[in-house]
């Protein structure tokens, strides 16, 4: 995913979270890590601006990452990962 799209996602998440203590630049690290994690698990590069379900998963990843709760996130959202794997790997 290119830097322009990552900035758009940061803007969306920043507006949704309404955090005073985080800037859009602070979110960039979490968004990039989430994109890597989800894409790596699913096995394809997802366009998070087009796939709103994947975008919601990424947004939750970022929120849990901010609060250092990624282990809990992985337990709660494993079904979403599997759903994306099925969606994007139907032909394999």
Residue 23: the pLDDT is 72
Helix residue ranges per DSSP H, the chain = 3-17, 24-42, 52-66, 70-88
Residue 91: the pLDDT is 58
Residue 24: the pLDDT is 72
How far is 28 from 1, CA to CA, in rounded Å?
13
Residue 51: the pLDDT is 96
Residue 59: the pLDDT is 95
How far is 61 from 57, CA to CA, in rounded Å?
6
Which position has the token pair 């990843």?
61
DSSP class of residue 83 equals H
Low-confidence residues in the chain, pLDDT < 70: 20, 91-92
């Amino acid at each position: 995913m290119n830097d322009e799209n990552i900035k758009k996602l940061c803007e969306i998440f920043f507006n949704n979270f309404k955090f005073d203590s985080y800037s859009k630049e602070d979110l960039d690290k979490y968004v990039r890590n989430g994109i890597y994690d989800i894409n790596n698990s699913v096995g394809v590069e997802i366009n998070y601006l087009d796939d709103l379900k994947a975008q919601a998963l990424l947004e939750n990843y970022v929120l849990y990452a901010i609060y250092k709760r990624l282990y809990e996130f992985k337990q709660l959202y494993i079904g979403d990962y599997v759903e994306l794997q099925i969606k994007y790997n139907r032909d394999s």
